[in-house]
């Protein structure tokens, strides 16, 4: 059920509807839009009688939701969601770029790369302190020490920190340090973690699982939003297919597909999506052209010495060129009216 308020509805009207929803034992999710507010309802086991709302002041209509997701849907909120990380916007007019090393290795390496990133005008820094690794014997990240290094980078450069939260046990710790909490592909359906992160109000970047369908991807975001955290950024990072010329197959068509169904911003990670440097640049450009709201790329000053994923890290000069390219392409796309994507 979805309550759409009239354009002239007051804050009091919205509050009253939320109250009624709460009294019924359900959870209201008000989503202010540019012209009017809609209120999603979760927690109801089945259909709700719309007459509960029909006569409340300010209510335009009560709509039954037939899609499996509600809060992520454009039906609930027509306008694009802009997620704010300090003064940086993701999903707004600017093309968001997140860059940095795969893993925090040493304070020196991290700071050097951060300076390269900051020098290009990019404002979001990535780096893993907790690393999900296929083998129990691989480097698993520096943990808390890594988070401290990232905090030092922030203090020194003003860059905002995007870093992965691996599990509920370390969620408090990561939440304390990070500006954006990243949920990795392997955890896209770790529902306990999704719920836990739904309880913070910090922005979340949710990576698509390796074989997740569009619906599963949207429902994973719904898990987070159902807990009240509406600051979700979707992220395509490649899926598993038979193709063997890249590590994963970057599925850029998910960008217009997500935008078609959801108001949430979506970015693309061409580094994990391809696994090879010479494909990262063309695919990052392609992401911008496909209408993505941003990209996340790995940059390393000495990729040949990187502790993980060196072959996909960009060299500093490549990265600088890439920043210019994607901004120029983003301008073309923005001018050509993104609404076309939402036909």
Residues 287-326 within binding reach of its own copies (CB under 8 A):
287-291, 318, 321, 324-325
Contact at 8 Å (CB) between 58 and 38? no
Q: How far is CA 48 from CA 41, 44, 216, 240, in A?
A: 10, 7, 25, 40
Q: How far is CA 240 from CA 92, 117, 246, in A?
A: 30, 30, 10
Burial 159-185 (b: 16+ CB within 10 A, else e): bbbbbbbbeeebbeebbebbbbbbbbb
Looking at 55-63, 67-75, 106-114, 174-182, which segment touches its own copies (CB under 8 A)?
67-75
Among 167, 173, 310, 311, binds its own copies (CB under 8 A): 167
Judged by beta carbon, residue 160 or residue 207, the one nearer its own copies is: 207
Q: Which two tokens stand for residue 227?
A: 């807990």
Q: Give yes or no for residue 244 binding its own copies (CB under 8 A).
A: yes
Minimum CB distance to its own copies, residue 213 (Å): 6
DSSP secondary structure of 159-207: -EEEEE---STTHHHHHHH-SEEEE-GGGTT-HHHHHHHHTS-S-EEEE
The contacts of residue 134 (CB under 8 Å, 6+ apart) are none
Q: Which two tokens stand for residue 280?
A: 């990262």
Give CA–CA dist 221/207, Å, rounded.
Answer: 10
Looking at 13-21, 154-162, 218-226, 294-302, which segment touches its own copies (CB under 8 A)?
218-226
Q: Which two tokens stand for residue 175?
A: 């939440």
Minimum CB distance to its own copies, residue 58 (Å): 26
Select from 290, 293, 195 the least CA-distant residue to 235: 293
Q: Give yes or no for residue 79 binding its own copies (CB under 8 A).
A: no
Judged by beta carbon, residue 84 or residue 191, the one nearer its own copies is: 191
Task: Give the containing element (helix H, strand E) for 225.
Answer: helix 214-226
Task: Give the containing element (helix H, strand E) for 233.
Answer: strand 232-236
Residue numbers 253-292 binding its own copies by CB under 8 A: 253-257, 260, 273-274, 277-279, 281-283, 285-291
Judged by beta carbon, residue 30 or residue 132, the one nearer its own copies is: 132
Q: Give yes or no for residue 169 binding its own copies (CB under 8 A).
A: yes
Q: Give yes or no for residue 173 binding its own copies (CB under 8 A).
A: no
Among 30, 210, 228, 301, binds its own copies (CB under 8 A): 210
Judged by beta carbon, residue 114 or residue 166, the one nearer its own copies is: 166
Q: Give yes or no for residue 199 binding its own copies (CB under 8 A).
A: no
Residue numbers 24-53 binding its own copies by CB under 8 A: 42
Give CA–CA dist 53/24, Å, rounded.
Answer: 11
Minimum CB distance to its own copies, residue 21 (Å): 15
Among 105, 222, 269, 298, binds its own copies (CB under 8 A): 222
Contact at 8 Å (CB) between 288 and 333? yes
Among 84, 133, 145, 201, binds its own copies (CB under 8 A): 133
Give CA–CA dist 154/186, Å, rounded.
Answer: 27
Judged by beta carbon, residue 192 or residue 199, the one nearer its own copies is: 192
Judged by beta carbon, residue 180 or residue 281, the one nearer its own copies is: 281
State the helix-helix crossing angle for 107-119 and 144-157, rounded to 10 degrees. Answer: 40
Opening angle at CA 185, ends 310 and 321, nearest 5:
45
Among 84, 145, 186, 201, binds its own copies (CB under 8 A): 186
Q: Give yes or no for residue 11 binding its own copies (CB under 8 A).
A: no
Looking at 5-13, 32-40, 119-127, 187-195, which segment touches its own copies (CB under 8 A)?
187-195
Judged by beta carbon, residue 88 or residue 295, the one nearer its own copies is: 295
Residue numbers 92-131 binding its own copies by CB under 8 A: none
Q: Give yes or no for residue 241 binding its own copies (CB under 8 A).
A: yes
């Amino acid at each position: 059920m979805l309550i759409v308020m009239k354009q002239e509805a007051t804050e009091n009207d919205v509050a009253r509807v939320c109250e009624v929803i709460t009294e019924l034992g359900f959870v209201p999710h008000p989503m202010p839009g540019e012209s009017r507010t809609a209120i999603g309802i979760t927690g109801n086991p089945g259909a709700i009688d719309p007459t509960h709302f029909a006569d409340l002041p300010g209510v335009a209509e009560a709509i039954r939701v037939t899609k499996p997701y509600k809060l992520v849907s454009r039906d609930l909120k027509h306008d694009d969601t802009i997620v704010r990380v300090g003064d940086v916007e993701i999903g707004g007019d600017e093309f968001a770029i997140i860059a940095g090393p795969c893993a925090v290795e040493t304070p020196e390496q991290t700071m050097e790369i951060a300076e390269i990133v900051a020098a290009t005008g990019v404002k979001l820094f990535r780096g893993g302190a907790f690393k999900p690794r296929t083998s129990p014997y691989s480097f698993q990240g520096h943990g808390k020490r890594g988070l401290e290094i990232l905090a030092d980078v922030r203090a020194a450069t003003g860059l905002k920190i995007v870093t992965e939260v691996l599990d509920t046990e370390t969620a408090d710790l990561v939440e304390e340090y990070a500006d954006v909490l990243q949920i990795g592909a392997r955890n896209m359906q770790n529902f306990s973690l999704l719920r836990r992160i739904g309880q913070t109000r910090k922005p979340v970047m949710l990576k698509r699982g390796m074989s997740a369908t569009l619906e599963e991807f949207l429902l994973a975001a719904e898990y987070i939003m159902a807990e009240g955290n509406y600051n979700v950024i979707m992220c395509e990072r490649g899926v598993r297919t038979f193709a063997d010329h890249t590590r994963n197959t970057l599925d850029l068509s998910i960008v217009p597909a997500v935008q078609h169904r959801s108001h949430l911003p979506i970015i693309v990670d061409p580094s994990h999506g391809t696994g090879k440097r010479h494909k990262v640049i063309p695919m990052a450009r392609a992401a911008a052209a496909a209408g993505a709201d941003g990209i996340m790329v790995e940059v390393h000053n000495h990729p040949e010495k990187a502790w993980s994923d060196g072959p996909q890290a960009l060299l500093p000069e490549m990265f600088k060129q890439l920043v210019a390219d994607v901004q120029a392409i983003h301008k073309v796309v923005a001018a050509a009216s993104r609404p076309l994507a939402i036909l």
